[in-house]
């Protein structure tokens, strides 16, 4: 069977079905769409045809290409019309019983060699396949919304799926111009599993009163390079939808603490604070527009202040430059200084002061990640004197750069969110849920992160990420921060987190 010009059936003409129809019709395959609701398949086809026509009008494709793609789209009145398909991809309602029944019915009408794929995002592929006589030809094929633009799909073999089925689906996806990654039949597969850290850790930071919602979002955008903050993303997806995913992955992973959902979420869902679709979520919306908080002006600088900068600070010279700029008097010893500035990884400001015998009322901490030239985060101890806090903000903002002030938190905000993301990715590799290369590509393409998570860990430094997690764990006692052995071993050996295990057999 040649990979091109196959006949592909798409069952379910909703959001995902439409995208899948478009992708494969434009990739040169005959695509037949069926939906149980009257006219739904025709509506789906009309929708896709409209998109393809617009794409030609905008000059993205030629009129001839558009016409050819449109000519490849067909609509079925009955499931039995899919009998001649080489592959059927279902994108029906997320309900196990419905999918089992559908695959059973398909198996009875289709050729022995045909492949049955499910676009489910949360069901177990092996459970869907268990209803089939030949589970070896059943697999997950998980696309992301919008399908033509999100250029990655997860191929998910169930426990009995054959290698040939996996390879065949991988080829189909790759020839449509998407990156096919293979993910084990485990909760969240690869992308939704790797994406847990961003939300759960941001919610944890919020729970601990470290910073407010706009501050956490702004930090993760400006200092870490995410396109959207976690709360902006939750508002976009809808908290009802994301809340369900958070709970379902936690339950399916047998209450793994790394995925523990936040108690902040259920009351907000009950109150209808779902996000953009309900007009209010973590933010308020006027139509499509998000109401932005008004930024606070930096306090006026204080000239002649006696400042001590910890010689151990990563950016000692740069902080000294800022202090000189605001006419501070630099002190050699912490004792006589009015303001103490420290920098560290993984600890909180209180812990650092106590460990180094510094006065917590006069001490502030500056996050060394991502570096002062990119963003400045100032962390306070619970007993900081307000005038010292104001002087520290003025000093750090002296050259006009924005400063985010946060409460005491082990690993500030960015260190702990990134360390959590790296740790979860490391554990995905450790469990063999996906290969290192697939993890990296799937996260960049499926989640839009600026770097793959393991490469990101390398940029921060594997041993540094390990130390951050160990220190957060020591401070909080929470097992969610326990480092994955994949990370610990590579950090201890001083090798890249991207290094796979050597094969056990030559």
Closest approach of Cβ 394 to ligand NAI, in Å? 46
* Candidate residues 8, 23, 31, 35; the one interacting with ligand NAI per rule CB under 6 A: 35
Nearer CB in complex with ligand NAI: 35/458: 35
| Pairing mode, strands 289-290 and 285-286 | antiparallel
3-state helix vs strand vs coil in the chain, percent to 5: 45, 15, 40
| Residue 55 structure tokens | 């794409």
Residue 494 exposed, middle or buried by CB count within 10 Å (0-12, 13-18, 19+): exposed
Cβ atoms of 35 and 13 within 8 Å: the answer is yes
What is the Cα–Cα distance from 52 to 44, expressed in whole angstroms?
Answer: 12
What is the Cα–Cα distance from 106 to 444, expressed in whole angstroms?
Answer: 35
262-321 positions binding ligand NAI, by CB under 6 A: none
Which residue of the set 69, 90, 142, 193 is catalytic? 142
Segment interacting with ligand NAI, rule: CB under 6 A, options 92-100, 129-137, 398-406, 491-499 = 92-100
List CB contacts of 277: < 8 A, sequence separation 6 or more: 238
Does 496 engage in binding with ligand NAI (CB under 6 A)? Answer: no
| Pairing mode, strands 138-142 and 152-157 | antiparallel
What is the Cα–Cα distance from 158 to 186, expressed in whole angstroms?
Answer: 9
Closest approach of Cβ 157 to ligand NAI, in Å? 17
Q: Is 154 a catalytic residue?
A: yes
Which residue of the set 69, 118, 168, 192 is catalytic? 192
List CB contacts of 320: < 8 A, sequence separation 6 or more: 309, 330
Does 91 engage in binding with ligand NAI (CB under 6 A)? Answer: yes
Closest approach of Cβ 302 to ligand NAI, in Å? 52
Which residue of the set 119, 121, 326, 427 is catalytic? 121
For residue 342, the 8-state DSSP code is E
Closest approach of Cβ 276 to ligand NAI, in Å? 15
Q: Is 145 a catalytic residue?
A: no
Widest distance between CA atoms in the chain = 85
Instruction: List strand residue ranges (DSSP E) for 95-143, in order.
Output: 115-118, 138-142
Site string for ligand NAI, 2-31 (x = CB under 6 A): ---------xxxxxxx--------------
Which residue has its beta carbon closest to ligand NAI?
14
- Peptide bond connecting 146 to the previous residue in cis, omega within 30 degrees of 0: yes
Segment interacting with ligand NAI, rule: CB under 6 A, options 94-102, 209-217, 395-403, 477-485 = 94-102
Nearer CB in complex with ligand NAI: 113/145: 145
Cβ atoms of 48 and 21 within 8 Å: the answer is yes
Task: Write down the H helix ranges in 223-339.
Answer: 230-237, 239-252, 265-270, 316-325
* Candidate residues 4, 37, 327, 371; the one interacting with ligand NAI per rule CB under 6 A: 37
Coil, strand, or helix at residue 405?
strand
Nearer CB in complex with ligand NAI: 121/326: 121
Q: Is 192 a catalytic residue?
A: yes
* Candidate residues 23, 66, 102, 323; the one interacting with ligand NAI per rule CB under 6 A: 102
Segment interacting with ligand NAI, rule: CB under 6 A, options 35-43, 273-281, 400-408, 480-488 = 35-43
204-233 positions binding ligand NAI, by CB under 6 A: none
124-153 positions binding ligand NAI, by CB under 6 A: 144-145
Closest approach of Cβ 118 to ligand NAI, in Å? 7
Closest approach of Cβ 272 to ligand NAI, in Å? 21
Which residues are at the interface with ligand NAI (CB under 6 A)?
11-17, 35-37, 40, 91-94, 98, 102, 119-121, 144-145
Annotated catalytic residues are: 121, 142, 154, 192
């Amino acid at each position: 069977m040649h990979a091109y010009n196959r006949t592909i059936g798409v069952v379910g003409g909703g959001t995902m079905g439409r995208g899948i129809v478009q992708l494969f019709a434009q990739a040169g395959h005959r695509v037949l769409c069926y939906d149980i609701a009257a006219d739904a398949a025709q509506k789906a086809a009309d929708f896709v045809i409209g998109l393809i026509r617009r794409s030609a009008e905008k000059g993205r494709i030629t009129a001839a290409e558009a016409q050819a793609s449109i000519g490849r789209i067909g609509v079925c009145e009955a499931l039995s019309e899919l009998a001649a398909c080489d592959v059927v991809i279902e994108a029906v309602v997320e309900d196990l019983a419905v999918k089992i029944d559908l695959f059973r019915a398909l198996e009875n009408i289709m050729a022995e060699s045909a492949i049955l794929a499910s676009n489910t995002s949360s069901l177990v592929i092996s459970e869907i396949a268990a209803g089939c006589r030949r589970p070896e030809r059943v697999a997950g094929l998980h696309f992301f919304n919008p399908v033509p633009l999100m250029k990655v799909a997860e191929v998910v073999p169930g426990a009995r799926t054959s290698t040939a089925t996996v390879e065949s689906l991988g080829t189909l996806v790759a020839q449509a111009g998407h990156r096919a990654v293979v993910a084990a039949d485990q909760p969240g597969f690869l992308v939704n599993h790797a994406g847990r850290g961003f939300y759960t850790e941001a919610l944890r930071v919020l729970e601990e009163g470290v910073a407010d919602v706009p501050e956490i979002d702004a930090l993760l955008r400006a200092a870490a390079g995410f396109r959207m903050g976690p709360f902006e993303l939750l508002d976009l997806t809808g908290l009802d939808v994301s809340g369900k995913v958070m709970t379902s992955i936690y339950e399916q992973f047998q209450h793994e603490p790394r995925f523990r959902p936040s108690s902040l979420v259920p009351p907000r869902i009950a109150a209808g604070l779902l996000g953009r679709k309900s007009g209010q979520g973590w933010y308020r919306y006027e139509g499509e527009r998000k109401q932005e908080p008004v930024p606070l002006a930096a306090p006026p600088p204080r000239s002649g202040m006696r400042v001590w900068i910890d010689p151990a600070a990563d950016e000692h010279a740069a902080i000294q430059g800022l202090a000189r700029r605001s006419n501070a008097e630099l002190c050699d010893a912490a004792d006589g200084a009015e303001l103490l500035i420290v920098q560290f990884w993984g600890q909180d400001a209180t812990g650092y002061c106590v460990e180094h015998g510094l006065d917590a009322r006069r001490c502030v901490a500056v996050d060394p990640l991502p570096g002062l030239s990119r963003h400045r985060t100032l962390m306070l101890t619970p007993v900081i004197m307000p005038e010292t806090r104001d002087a520290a903000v003025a000093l750090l903002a002296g050259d006009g750069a924005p400063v985010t002030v946060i409460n005491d938190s082990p690993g500030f905000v960015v260190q702990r969110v990134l360390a959590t993301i790296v740790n979860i990715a490391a554990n995905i590799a450790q469990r063999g849920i996906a290969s290192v290369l697939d993890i990296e590509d799937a996260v960049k393409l499926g989640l839009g992160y600026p770097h793959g998570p393991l490469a990101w860990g390398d940029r921060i430094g594997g041993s540094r990420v390990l130390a951050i997690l160990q220190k957060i764990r020591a401070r909080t006692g929470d097992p969610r921060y326990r480092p994955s052995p994949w990370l610990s071993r590579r950090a201890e050996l001083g090798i890249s987190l991207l290094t796979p295990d050597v094969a056990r057999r030559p």
